[in-house]
Amino acid sequence: MKLKIIQFCFLLFAIFSCSKNEVDLESEGQVMKAHSYRPYYHYSPAKNWMNDPNGMVYYDGQYHLFYQYYPNGTTWGPMHWAHAVSTDLFTWEDKGIKLYPDDLGYIFSGSIVIDKNNTTGFKNSANDPMVAIFTHHQNITGKQVQSLAYSNDKGLSWIKYDQNPVLKNPGINDFRDPKVVWDSKFQKWIMVLAAYDKIKIYSSLNLKEWTFESDFGQNQGDHRGVWECPDLFSIKDQNGIEKWVMIVSIGGGESSGPNGGSSTQYFIGDFNGKEFISNQTKVVWADYGTDNYAGVTWSDIPSSDGRRIFLGWMSNWVYANSTPTVGWRGEMTVPREIKLVEENGKHALYFQPVKEINNLKEAPLSSSSTVAQKDFVLENNVTVASASYIVDFEIDLSLANQFEFTIGNSLEKVSLSYQKSTGEFILDRAKSGIVDFNSLFIKPIRSPFVTTKTTLPVKILVDRSSIEIFINNGEQSITSLFFPKFQYSFMKINSNVENKYLKNITIAPLKKTIIR
Ligand code: FRU
């Protein structure tokens, strides 16, 4: 009998040792705690729910970030605008809630401009007034109108305009997310507004009275979801040629976007003060990942700087309310500089992390990592375990026509693979950790990339629960969340060839800029 019990115990042990790896990782203290998903250098709220970036504006040395915020829970609820400021785009100081819901409704997305010429008459101090143009959303009727609020103390305190709304609803259910820009050529304010399946363009001399100018996009671009969060700005290419860009986020379910759910497309064209005209016939995506939505650009960056900087919400409405963070939910992408690049007579936007990210670099891992080599393997590595780093490398595509980048531990991984023959990147997070909160999360993320280049630069940012991939200096970007159950410990770059196809690899840990 005793022998039977011992045999039975052995059997049990044998059965459970199938999951030995998990037990091992647990006993080694490798379990990711809920707080381990908190990013180190991407903006996330200290507590509760966040979605779209709003009112991004630069004034007097400070970058302002407002955002859609629900202070009473970790899922979407009655929307407020919360506020943070930074001087370097990475170190953010929380400033609390600035706009609360009122009789006209929740405070939905919108923008802020600096009214340098006091066109509104709101000025009452030495500062230029900051004017927020946002959507009031009536929760019961679903009715949406546009309203104003202003600040004369650099964004610290806000007063809602007493004649709100300034733009009434013309009978359209989806009528929201105003982005306003000063058109210096025509000396007027221009507003782009998402209206279900198109963008409406309005103009104004004082931000209070608006004239309808034109509609854009009903027969252009992707329409598998409702149009949201537009942006309109001018930008010059490397030869000084000026074009106008319209950014449009589009909602929708699992079958929308390039890889499912919330996605962002853009149009390059011209603007004549009334109409935006684009001859673009193909849909062009700003990002092929599933986690870059509702992104727009900072207003009023001084011309001496001259950059156009973009920030998106790093999530997707398909699963945004169920990602496995505790006490907070939602993070922003890294701020990205947009460049207009002309190649063979065609224009495209390139998105790259802003240069300020270089100031966060700790000493690179090792100088030997910068020499040419075949495959690259880091095992049980502290930097990988910190999950807050930047990797740069180049692939010589004349020597290797495929490669794979992988991070993970003995049970979990995220991998990015490229095949020159299929001309496609595939990001696979199906085994990355906690994935069972939504079926979209395990689908491979496919990103077409056909190139004649021989040397392909790749930049990868990892920050605890996110990976952002920038291919060929930002010609393509892929942004994705992931939630490991256990700490990742290795990084690999490999191919199926013996050649030294891998060049100039550097890995640098990045500093924690947001203390929570
Ligand atoms: C985009 C969006 C906007 C809206 C806001 C509400 O993510 O749906 O259209 O203003 O979120 O929170």
23 CA distance to ligand 1 middle (Å):
42
pLDDT by residue (tens digit) across 58-87? 999 999 999 999 999 999 999 999 999 999
* Strand-by-strand arrangement of the 130-137 sheet: 106-114, 130-137, 144-151, 159-160
C-alpha neighbours within 13 Å on the C-beta side of residue 166 = 25
Q: Is 177 exposed, middle or buried (0-12, 13-18, 19+ CB in 10 A)?
A: buried
What percent of the chain lies above the pLDDT cut of 90? 88
Cβ neighbours of residue 382 closer than 8 Å, sequence gap 6 or more: none
| Residues with Cβ within 8 Å of residue 501, at least 6 apart in sequence | 374, 395, 396, 397, 399, 400, 403, 495
Q: Which residue has the tokens 């509760």?
A: 48
**Confidence at 290, pLDDT banded by 50, 70, 90:** very high
Confidence of residue 13 (pLDDT cuts 50, 70, 90): very low
Q: Whose CA is closest to atom 9 on ligand 1? A: 228
State the average pLDDT over residues 458-470: 98
Kindly state if the Cβ of 169 falls inside 6 Å of ligand 1. Answer: no
CA–CA gap between residue 455 and residue 472 (Å, rounded): 9
Ligand 1 lined by 68 (C-beta under 6 Å): yes
Confidence category of residue 5, pLDDT binned at 50, 70, 90? very low
What is the average pLDDT across 393-399?
95
The model carries a pTM of 0.94
How far away, in angstroms, is 199 Cα from ligand 1 center?
A: 15
Calculate how far, in angstroms, residue 405's C-alpha sits from the geometric centre of ligand 1.
Answer: 34
Pocket probe for ligand 1: among 137, 196, 229, the residue whose CB has the most ligand atoms within 8 Å is 229
Identify which of 467, 382, 389 has the alpha carbon closest to the alpha carbon of residue 432.
Answer: 467
- The type of residue at 134 is F
Do 216 and 201 form a contact (C-beta atoms < 8 A)?
Answer: yes
For residue 374, what pLDDT band results from cuts at 50, 70 and 90?
confident
Residue 153 has pLDDT above 60, yes or no: yes
Q: Distance, CA 95 to ligand 1 centroid (Å)?
A: 21
CB of residue 294 inside a 6 A radius of ligand 1: yes
Average pLDDT over residues 320-327: 97
> Which residue's CA is the nearest one to ligand 1's atom 6?
108
pLDDT given at position 367: 45
**Alpha-carbon span 207 to 131, nearest angstrom:** 9
Residues 8, 76: Cα–Cα separation, whole Å: 51
What is the Å distance from ligand 1's center to 54 Cα?
Answer: 10
- Ligand 1 atom closest to Cα of 110? 10
Output the 3-class SS for 35-65.
HHHCCCCCCCCCCEEEEEEEEEEEECCEEEE
Tell me, yes or no, if 52 is annotated catalytic: yes
Q: Is 109 in the pocket of ligand 1 (CB under 6 A)?
A: yes
Q: Using one digit for the tens of pLDDT, what is the confidence trace for 193-233?
A: 999 999 999 999 999 999 999 999 999 999 999 999 999 99
Q: Which pLDDT tens digit goes with each residue over 260-272?
A: 999 999 999 999 9
Tell whether the model's pLDDT for residue 383 goes beyond 50.
yes
Residue from 257, 292, 222, 251 nearest 477 by CA? 292
At residue 366, the pLDDT reads: 54
Catalytic residue among 24, 52, 102, 428, which? 52
| pLDDT reported for residue 26 | 78
- pLDDT band of residue 35 (cuts 50, 70, 90) is low
Q: For residue 119, is pLDDT > 70?
A: yes
pLDDT for residue 427 is more than 80 = yes
Q: Classify residue 451 as exposed, middle or buried by CB count within 10 Å of its CB (0-12, 13-18, 19+).
A: middle
Ligand 1 centre distance from Cα of residue 268 (Å): 24
pLDDT of residue 23: 80
Rounded average pLDDT over 395-419: 97
User: Which residue lies with its CA nearest to atom 8 of ligand 1?
Assistant: 228
Non-local (6+) Cβ contacts of 281 within 8 A are none
Residue 302 main-chain phi, psi, to 5 deg = -55, 150
> Which of 297, 129, 107, 296 lies closest to 208 in space, CA to CA?
129
CA dist., res. 63 & res. 55, Å (int): 10
pLDDT value for 229: 98
> Is 332 within 8 Å of 44 (Cβ atoms)?
yes
Which residues have a Cβ under 8 Å from the Cβ of 515 and sit 6 or more positions away?
A: none
Which one-letter DSSP state was computed for residue 129? P
CA atoms within 13 A on the CB side of 177: 26
Report which ligand 1 atom has the smallest distance to the Cα of 137: 10
Q: What is the pLDDT of residue 18?
A: 41
- Nearest residue to 431 (alpha-carbon basis) of 454, 455, 407: 407
Q: Is 177 in the pocket of ligand 1 (CB under 6 A)?
A: yes
